[in-house]
Amino acid sequence: MTLTSEQIKTLLPAARKAILATQSARPAMLQRVLKLGWNAASDLMSQFEGELVSAPGPDGQRTILPRLLDLTHQVYPRNSYWVRPDSLMAGEYPGDRDPRSTQRKLADYLHQGLDAFLDLTEAGELRPYEDDLYTVASEAGINCAYRRMPIRDVDVPEQPGQMRAILDQIEQWRRQRRKVYVHCWGGVGRTGTVVGCYLVDYGLSGQAALEQLRLLWTRMSEDKRRRKPHTPETQAQRNYVLSWDDMADTLYEQEHPDDLV
């Protein structure tokens, strides 16, 4: 069904709200949220071209634009970015060598509403902050969660099942209405790889996910971007994001062979 100009005008406020809330340029998102058909959702998304979303790329997919990030990233801890506003944030290690500094930093994250922390660093890599987190959260009357799911530094998961477990943990917390913070050390390589695969899980092509990450990375500090100009950090990590859709499909087929009968 093609929308009339009057229908588009009526739906624009709700569509804008949905795009900002999900930070998504996918017509499928508008389909789900506004209960529209594919053609109607595509027509509606095109109304935000050049303002909040890009024109379709070579793969036919749109990505978000910096203007959208200016609206969704007004308040957040330094060197972090919202993957899904008010739902999933990514960035660098939230601790410090000094316990008091760690507790001050964690209080800032908790103040933003973040209450589930997914740590991609290996044990012994950095000063642990789990105990500090629970102390600060308890003093603030906040029920928080923490889990370490390590990936080797400057590397990718050894098995696709490792990435699937990480993404499933994020989704489990989000279904519990927690606000999730995922991080490694610098928030560049391992974190970017996880976020890229997360975006692919939500319907972006690997290339569109990397483009969205490029835009999200502009929310980091100038000093950070000068030292680490892009995320993920290595070509192997970027290739992992590009291949994740196929890897996830293969993993599903291996784990659910009866679904193929």
Domain that holds residue 184: 80-255
Q: For residue 47, what is the domain's CATH number?
A: 1.10.10.10
Whether residue 89 contacts residue 83, with contact meaning beta carbons closer than 8 Å, is answered with yes
Q: Are 104 and 24 in a shared domain?
A: no
Q: Using 50, 70 and 90 to split pLDDT, how confident is the model at 260?
A: low
**In which element (H, E) is residue 80 found?**
strand 80-84
Q: Is 248 inside any structural domain? A: yes
CA–CA distance, 216 with 109 (Å, rounded to integer): 18
CA distances to 89, 157, 224, 236 from 151, in Å: 18, 6, 21, 14
Q: Are 137 and 199 in a shared domain?
A: yes
- Number of domains within the chain: 2
Q: For residue 99, what is the domain's CATH number?
A: 3.90.190.10
Q: Is 117 inside any structural domain? A: yes
Residue 257 is given by DSSP the state G
Is the bond preceding 160 in cis, omega lying within 30 degrees of 0?
no
pLDDT tens track for 174-186? 999 999 999 999 9
Q: Are 89 and 47 in a shared domain?
A: no
- Tell me the pLDDT of the chain averaged across its residues: 94
pTM of the predicted model, to two decimals? 0.92
CA–CA distance, 150 with 119 (Å, rounded to integer): 7
Whether residue 183 contacts residue 151, with contact meaning beta carbons closer than 8 Å, is answered with no
Q: Is 261 inside any structural domain? A: no
pLDDT tens track for 39-74? 999 999 999 999 999 999 888 999 999 889 888 887
State the Rg of the chain over Cα. 19
Q: Are 144 and 240 in a shared domain?
A: yes
